[in-house]
Structure 1
Amino acid sequence: MKSAVETLNPTRVRLTVEVPFEELKPSLDAAYKKINQQVTVKGFRQGKIPARVIDQRFGRGAVLEEAVNDALPKLYTEAVNEAELNPLGQPEVDITELKDGELLAFTAEVDIRPALEIPDYSGIEVTVDAVEVTDEDLEKSVEQLRERFATTSPVERAAAEGDIVTVDLEAKVEGEVLEDGVASDVDYTIGSGQLLEGIDDAVTGLEAGGTATFTSELKGGSAEGKEAEITVVVKAVKARELPELDDDFAQMASEFDTLDELKADSRKRLERMKKFDQATQAQEKVLEELLKLVEVPMPEKLLADEVNTRKHNLEHHQLGQIGMTLDKYLEMQGKSAEEFEAELKEQAEKGIKTQFVLDEIVNKEKVSVGQEELTEHLMRRAQSSGMAPDQFAQAVVEQGQVPMLVGEVARGKALATVVEAATVKDSNGEVVDLEDEDETETAVETVEAAEAGDEKTEA
């Protein structure tokens, strides 16, 4: 087999391959065998039809087509390996010559990973937020814990903000009650903004048995987006009572005996959270600076496929799960279709660039992934997917996704290597030491977020 490579641009090549006909013999034999099993000819047992009879009855062209289809993937792979290419996606193959008994010639155009020059990244400097737990932060944390232990009790007075009201609702559009516009015994916290626009004003000041009518745009159901006349009947008013902040509360809400011990532990926990956030922020900023240093030619077909995949996943999976259309999503986001497409393309470009650059650093720095690191990552992925670890691991193996997981961890380690070489300071001008953080796993998450883009988070 002879092959030659023509560079069409930095991210696409054309392979020209010529194959002597004798190299097609195994595929020709397989073609005759396959056709033998599929057809019947009077006077011959199935599977025992001579090749010359198959040629006469079904045409030599059908045999050649079957043989070429069988041989092409192997021949293409051989040519790629011989040229030491890193192809991306499926090739566009064109058979240019097929002479029976003499020669098979074809071309294959395919996107390839561009050759990248990774400059010295040790000069990267970024600034992150300082780790400071304020009294306000602590107070807010303790108050959130207090809220979890709140109790409710019925009251005989007008409803006010913060109260929980039990209501019946009826929605009318153009004077007609909607089939799905009636709800009974709905509990609603006044001021939470979690039901219908206008309901807070309607129920505030009403006692049990009170009724009010207001107009609101429906957010779902058969008349979604339409203005409806809503009648609300308050059936009960309940007040929320928060426990006293004292040692008894500490004993009820935690393993500590005193409120001071509870607050001290809460402060330590908030500090750990802020350190984790600081590490993530450092990785995100270092990655941004790294990407600015490297010129990455963008494979256009790969980019187009990635944009289409992201759009499909957003429209049919993420939004589909919550019953929202893409048009409605764009309306809520205040974006035009053109703006959405531009953002999607920008996110896809960043994802591809992140993968290319970090993979190059993996090779340059000879980053390896240990079994323990892979297992830890697999456990985290299993947890986020809602599957049991052994079930997730089995699915990964069956679907051939182990190399994908190894690549994710390797890119995370590559980013951690760059962060370690960079200078990270906090907003107070102090150099930040990130060695105590689980850099690899947080870096893997940072890389995954960069590769996935923002549309997942927004949805």
Structure 2
Amino acid sequence: MKSAVETLNPTRVRLTVEVPFEELKDSLDAAYKKINQQVTVKGFRKGKIPARVIDQRFGRGAVLEEAVNDALPKLYTEAVNEAEVNPLGQPEVDIKELKDGELLSFTAEVDIRPAIEIPDYSGIEVEVDAVEVTDEDVEKSVEQLRERFASTNPVERAAAEGDVVTIDLEAKVDGEVLPDGIASGVSYTIGSGELLDGIDAAVTGLEAGGEATFTSELKGGSAAGKEAEVTVKVTAVAARELPALDDEFAQLASEFDTLDELKADSRKRLENMKQFDQATQAQERVLEKFLELAEIPVPEKLLEDEIQTRKHNLEHHQLGQMGLTLEKYLEFQGKTVEEFDAETKEQAVKGIKTQFLLDELVSKEELNVDQEELTEHLMRRAASSGMSPDQFAQAVVQGGQVPMLVGEVARGKALAVVVEAAKVVDTNGKAVDLSDEDEELATETVEAVTGDAEVSEDK
């Protein structure tokens, strides 16, 4: 077999392959055997039809077509290995010549991973938010905890903001009560914004037994998105009472004996959260700078596929679970279809470039993923998917996705290498030490950029 490679652009090549006919012998034998099992000819036992009879009855062309289809994957793989290219996705194959008994000639165009030169990242500098927890932050955190321990007591007065009302609802569209437009005994906190737009104004000022009618756009159900006339009747009003902010509350709401100890713990937790946010911010900004330093061409077909994958995941998974259409989502976001498409393309380009660049760094630095790192990553992914580690691991193995998980961890390790070499300071000019940050955090940062799709090689 002879093959040659032609570079069409930095991300696409054309392989030209010539194969002497004798190299197709195994595939020809396999073609005759396959056809033998599929057809019957009077006078011959199934599977025992001579090749010359198959040629006469069904045509030599059918045999050659079957043989070529059988041989092409192996011949293509040999050509790819000989050319030392890294193909992405399936090739576009074109049979140029097929001379029976003489020669098979074909071309295969395929996208490839571009050659990338790792830029010098030792001079990367980024600024991140300082970790500052104010007394006001602590008070707000404690107040939120206090809200969770609030009690409600019935009152005989008009409902006001912050009260908990028990209500009955009836929704009509075009004068007709919806099949799913009636609800009774609904508990609602005025001002929470958890139900329909306009309901706060409607119930405020009503006593038990009072009712009001207002117009609102339905957020879900059989008439989601339509304007409805909603009648609300208040059946009970209760006032929320917060516990006193003292040592007794600290003992009720936590494992601490005093309010001062509870506040100190709240401050520490807030500091840890802000340190986590700071580390994530540093990784995101270092990655941005790293990408800016590199020249990374993106294959057109791969980009098209990535954009479609992102749109599909958004529409059929994320929005589908929320009962939203893409149109309604864009309306809530205040975006046009054109703006959404432009953002999706920008995110897809960034995701592909990130995979290419970090994969190249993984190779250059010879970064390996051990079993402990893979197991830790698998358990985190399982938790985020709502599956048990055993269920998730089984799904990963059955889906052939182990290499994908290994790739995710390896890219996280590569980003961690870049972050460790970068100079990171906060807004106060203080140097930020990220050397102790878990590589798993870097993996999460990379995942957020690259999305669910995986740039896959296919030979």
Q: TM-score range by the shorter chain?
A: over 0.9
Please give the secondary structure, in 2, of the residue aligned with 1:115: coil
What is the aligned partner in structure 2 of residue 72 from structure 1? 72
Partners in 2 of 1:227 and 1:42 — Cα distance? 73
Q: Which residue in 1 is equivalent to 2:457? A: none
Structural mapping, 1:371-386, within 5 Å: 371-386=371-386
Name the CA distance, whole Å, in 2 between partners of 1:19 and 1:172.
73
Partner of 1:446: 445
2:447 corresponds to which letter in structure 1? E
Structure 1 window deviating more from structure 2 (428-437 vs 99-108): it is 428-437
Q: How do residues 306-317 of structure 1 correspond to structure 2 at under 5 angstroms?
A: 306-317=306-317
User: For 1:170, what is the secondary structure of its paired residue?
Assistant: strand
> How far apart are the structure 2 equivalents of 1:271 and 1:176?
54
Aligned partner letter, 2:449: A
1:295-444 to structure 2, matched below 5 A, reads 295-438=295-438, 440-444=439-443
Corresponding residue for 2:215? 215
* Structure 2: runs of 5+ lacking an equivalent: 453-459
Distance 1:331 1:262 in 2: 43
Q: Secondary structure at the match of 1:119?
A: coil
CA distance in 1, matches of 2:277, 2:323: 33
Q: For 1:24, give the aligned amino acid.
A: L
**Larger CA deviation: 283-292 vs 269-278:** 269-278
- The Cα offsets for residues 355-381 of structure 1, whole Å up to 9 and x where unpaired, read as 111111111211111111111101101
Of stretches 246-255 and 109-118 in structure 1, the one that deviates more from structure 2 is: 246-255
Q: Equivalent residues in 2 for 1:38-437 (5 A)? A: 38-437=38-437
Name which of structure 1's ranges 27-36 and 275-284 shifts more when overlaid on structure 2.
Answer: 27-36
CA distance in 2, matches of 1:390, 1:106: 46
Q: Deviations over 1:313-364 (max 9, x none)?
A: 2222222222222222222222221111111111100100111111111112
* CA-CA distance at 1:179 after TM superposition: 2.5
Distance 1:163 1:149 in 2: 15
Q: Is 229-238 or 251-260 further displaced after alignment?
A: 251-260
Q: Distance in 2 between matches of 1:89 and 1:172?
A: 52
Mapped partners of 1:327, 1:264: distance in 2: 47
Sequence identity (%) = 83
Q: CA deviation at 1:435?
A: 2.4
- What number of residue pairs does the alignment pair up? 452
Quote the Cα distance in structure 1 between the aligned partners of 2:76 and 2:184: 66
Offset from partner CA, 1:292-317 (integer Å, 9 cap, x none):
10111111111011111211222222
1:225-268 CA-to-partner distances (Å, cap 9, x unmatched) read 33322211000112222222222222222222222222212211
When the two structures are superposed, what TM-score results if normalisation uses the length of structure 1?
Answer: 0.96
Distance 1:48 1:149 in 2: 83
- Cα offset, 1:174, TM superposition: 3.2
Measure the CA separation in 2 of the matches of 1:263 and 1:322: 37
- Structure 1 distance, partners of 2:307, 2:228, is 38
User: Match of 2:267, as an amino acid?
Assistant: R
| Stretch deviating more after TM superposition (406-415 or 165-174) | 165-174
Q: Distance in 2 between matches of 1:251 and 1:175?
A: 54
Distance 1:158 1:91 in 2: 72
Per the alignment, residue 9 of structure 2 pairs with 9
Deviates more, 1:380-389 or 1:328-337: 328-337
Task: Report the more deviating stretch, 44-53 or 71-80.
Answer: 44-53
Q: How far did residue 280 of structure 1 move?
A: 0.4
Report how far residue 142 of structure 1 moved. 1.2
Q: Which amino acid letter does the alignment assign opposite residue 16 of structure 1?
A: T
> For 2:332 and 2:305, how far apart are their aligned partners in 1?
26
Which 10-residue stretch deviates more, 222-231 or 409-418? 222-231
- Describe the SS at the equivalent of 1:122: coil
Determine the C-alpha separation between the residues in 2 that align with 1:437 and 1:75.
Answer: 47
Q: CA deviation at 1:436?
A: 2.8
Q: Which residue in the other structure is 1:457 paired with?
A: none
How many Å apart are 1:89 and its aligned residue? 0.8
Q: CA deviation at 1:287?
A: 0.4
CA distance in 1, matches of 2:151, 2:396: 46
Structure 1 distance, partners of 2:21, 2:145, is: 77
CA shift for structure 1 position 103: 0.9
CA distance in 2, matches of 1:437, 1:293: 24
Q: For residues 336 and 290 of structure 1, what CA distance do their matches in structure 2 show? A: 31
2:456 paired residue number: none
- Give the Cα–Cα distance (whole angstroms) in 1 for the partners of residues 82 and 23 of structure 2: 17
- Choose 404-413 or 155-164, whichever is displaced more: 155-164
Stretches of structure 1 lacking an aligned partner (at least 5 in a row)? 454-459
Q: Which amino acid in structure 2 is aligned with residue 296 of structure 1?
A: I
- Could you tell me how far apart the structure 2 residues matched to 1:165 and 1:154 are? 9
Query: What is residue 456 of structure 1 aligned with on the other side?
Result: none
TM-score for the superposition, normalised by structure 2: 0.96
> Displacement of 1:181 after TM fit?
1.9
Structure-1 separation of matches of 2:369 and 2:174: 64
Q: Which residue of 1 aligns with 2:23?
A: 23
Distance 2:295 2:353 in 1: 9
Q: Aligned-pair distance for 1:66?
A: 0.9
Partner amino acid for 1:21?
A: F
- Per-residue CA deviations over 1:265-304 (Å, capped at 9, x if unaligned) read 2211111111111110000000011111011111111101
Aligned mates of 1:157, 1:272 — CA distance in 2: 44
